Amino acid sequence: MPVTAHEIHLKSRPSGMPGPENFEFVERRLADPADGQLLVRTLWMSVDPYMRGRMTDRPSYIAPFQLGQPLEGAAVGVVEQSRDARFKPGDVVTHFAGWRDYAVIDAKTARGIEPSSIPLEAWLGALGVPGETAHAGLLHFAKLRKGETVFVSAAAGAVGSMAVQIAKLKGARVIGSVGSEEKARWVKEDLGADAVINYKTAGNLTEALASAAPEGIDVYFDNVGGSHLEAAIDATRLYARLIICGMIARYNDETPSPGPRNLAMFIGKRLTMQGFIILDHADLRPNFIREMSGWIAQGQIKTRDTVVEGLENAPKAFLGLFSGENIGKMLVKIGER
């Protein structure tokens, strides 16, 4: 039988920082799934900084959101109706039709989750894109080696908190940057960072990083850009690798900001900077799932979620990312299994 879905649509394109006026809560009657499709009921959805870029109508690695249409993103849900032999009602899947409580999706875009003791929401965090991004960035792109020093910006965020822990598990010395004392305590005491900088109270970030890493850094995992990237370049050792995952400090800029003033250091220090999109590297996923699942089972990876209840509050959760309201992964809980 057809169901009524509740969806969050993009009502207007933001200029600068988005606001509640850019979103619209909509009811829509869904058609029954056709052959090769599933009707899924969403339990958890993710909000992520990269979604800000999709709100602007410009070419990028992923299509922009369309006005008057539901936003989308990673989610975990339950199959309610199936027209595909690989899935049956009651199966739990990850899918990309977030920002709505029900969705009809192509079965080929869903991935089944095997029953386990791991919480379902972990498939949007440690076992999802954030964990996968941190794992690939450090081990595949940076080729992190035991004994090296790693600097992670936004170290209390979804990706950063995974990067801190993976780097420690691989034998690195880790310095994290955060924006509050609560986050600093969590990153140091719970995640095991060797040093933590509260960039909001540290004064000169370049000097603070130099003090935390007097011998320099070998790897910078960048989630922020801006002054963090400039400070990291100053702190690099010879042949250091800068892995560019995100630049949340720049996502709401209406005009391009000046680049780091110290790019000439790339020459003398023989630095390498690599940007990447984890969606391009599905071949790395099996090894990541195997290794991360083992770490979680052994209690070697700690997670913390900031949970907002209710689909109608998803815009609030998303906007909270840009004011640092989340510790760990920001999630929206929509339903119960």
Span 163-216, pLDDT tens digits: 999 999 999 999 999 999 999 999 999 999 999 999 999 999 999 999 999 999
Number of H helices, E strands in the chain: 9, 15
Query: Tell me, what's the pLDDT at 237?
Result: 98
- CB-side neighbour CA atoms (13 Å) of 32: 6
Whether 49 and 329 have beta carbons less than 8 Å apart is answered as no
CATH class of the domain whose range is 129-279: alpha beta
Query: Tell me, what's the pLDDT at 249?
Result: 78
Domain ranges in the chain?
4-125+304-333, 129-279
Residue 4's Cβ-count burial label (10 Å; 0-12, 13-18, 19+) is exposed
Give per-residue pLDDT as tens, 291-304. 999 999 999 999 99
Q: What is the mean pLDDT of residues 121-143?
A: 97
One-letter amino acid at 2 equals P
pTM of the full predicted structure? 0.94
Give, rounded to a whole angstrom, the gap between the first and last alpha carbons of the chain: 20
Better pLDDT: 285 or 114:
285
Query: Tell me, what's the pLDDT at 265?
Result: 97
- Angle at CA of residue 247, ends 68 and 254, nearest 5°: 55
- CB-side neighbour CA atoms (13 Å) of 221: 37
Query: Which of 127, 137, 125, 197 is closest to 163 using CA atoms?
Result: 137
Q: Which residues contact 203 (CB under 8 A, 6 or more apart)?
A: none
Residue 146 pLDDT exceeds 80:
yes
Q: What is the mean pLDDT of residues 119-137?
A: 97
CATH topology for 4-125+304-333?
Quinone Oxidoreductase; Chain A, domain 1 (3.90.180)
Q: What is the mean pLDDT of residues 34-45?
A: 98
Percent of residues, the chain, with pLDDT higher than 70? 100
- CA–CA separation, 229 and 176 (whole Å): 13
pLDDT confidence tier of residue 248, bands split at 50, 70 and 90:
confident
